[in-house]
Amino acid sequence: MDSRLSQSTQKPFNVVAWWRGSSRYAVSYLLLTLLALVSFAPFLWMVLASFKPLEEVERLNPFPTVWHPENYVKVFKQIPFARYYFNSVFTAAWVTFLQCLTSAMAAYAFARLKWKGRDVVFRLYLATLMIPGVVTMIPNYALMVKLHLLDSYQGLIVPSAFSAFGTFLLRQFMLTLPPSLDEAAAIDGGSPWQIFWDLILPLARPGLITLAIFTFMGNYGSFFWPLVLIKSEHLRTLPIGMLFFDTNYGRQTNLIMAASVMNIIPLIILFVTSQKFLVRGIQLGAVKG
């Protein structure tokens, strides 16, 4: 047996050294924990309130005296909450799919193909990133009226299917792939579409996943557009449904909190499963072209 190894593992535990080592970080841990509490407290209140009977929501006792999980069932009975869920996920999924496809195609043209005027057109794309949504919102609404797409899934999905930001993000990603890849594939007789679909797209997967998460999240929480576009109850998305639940059904704070909890659960699941891509994407998105 290696004597050095056994020596180091049998070193006696030194309380003083341990305390000196960790007390250096004690202040940091204290501050971190305090901030985490402030971040988390409202969520805690929301979850606890969602299990309380109404009269207890207004009292200070933190925990419900009797837990009422049936509050969650009541939400589904009072409003078509499942329908809102479906509408939100359905439209967000379509928007995500279309936006990833159109952005990836455009990004491929900007990052991997050489053509005259490419950089000018790309700069034009970049410039459109600063156009605020409020400017295009009103004409787009008028356009939806003209096309008879008010109050429809198509009206919710199609205008969001194209994105300059997505193009930009994926271009940054595709630029990092070595150019010799396309050249080799082209010599082997691959068409641009084959190179794009079979070679570049699989390699750009981390970028695509990042964009997909951003797009899905953004659309799942989208508020202004469905608010002005949707009139019928069966087409409402979650944020709109929540808004009317809050204004029309008065002060049923416990049920409204139950609905809010159910609203953010998909986001939390998404976050926990995709943290790695997300953090990277946020940092990549801040890089200017």
Please say whether the beta carbons of 101 and 170 come within 8 A.
Answer: no
Cα–Cα distance measured from residue 265 to residue 255, given in angstroms and rounded to the nearest whole number = 16
* Site for another protein contains 32 (CB under 8 A): yes
- Minimum Å distance from CB 189 to another protein? 14
Please say whether the beta carbons of 154 and 229 come within 8 A.
Answer: no
- State the binding string over 54-93 for another protein (x if CB under 8 A, else -): ---xx-x---------------------------------
- Piece of 11-19, 72-80, 156-164, 202-210 that binds another protein (CB under 8 A): 156-164
- Minimum Å distance from CB 8 to another protein? 21
- Piece of 1-9, 12-20, 37-45, 67-75 that binds another protein (CB under 8 A): 37-45
* Site for another protein contains 187 (CB under 8 A): no
Among residue numbers 130 through 149, which ones bind another protein (CB under 8 A)?
130-143
Selected from 76, 125, 153, 197, the binder of another protein by CB under 8 A is: 125
Selected from 14, 23, 65, 128, the binder of another protein by CB under 8 A is: 128
86 or 285: CB nearest another protein:
285
Among residue numbers 244 through 283, which ones bind another protein (CB under 8 A)?
246, 253, 256-257, 259-260, 263-264, 267-268, 271-272, 275, 279, 282-283
- Minimum Å distance from CB 178 to another protein? 19
In whole angstroms, how far apart are CA 139 and each of 124, 136, 154?
A: 21, 6, 17
Among residue numbers 188 through 217, which ones bind another protein (CB under 8 A)?
192-193, 196, 217
* Site for another protein contains 31 (CB under 8 A): yes
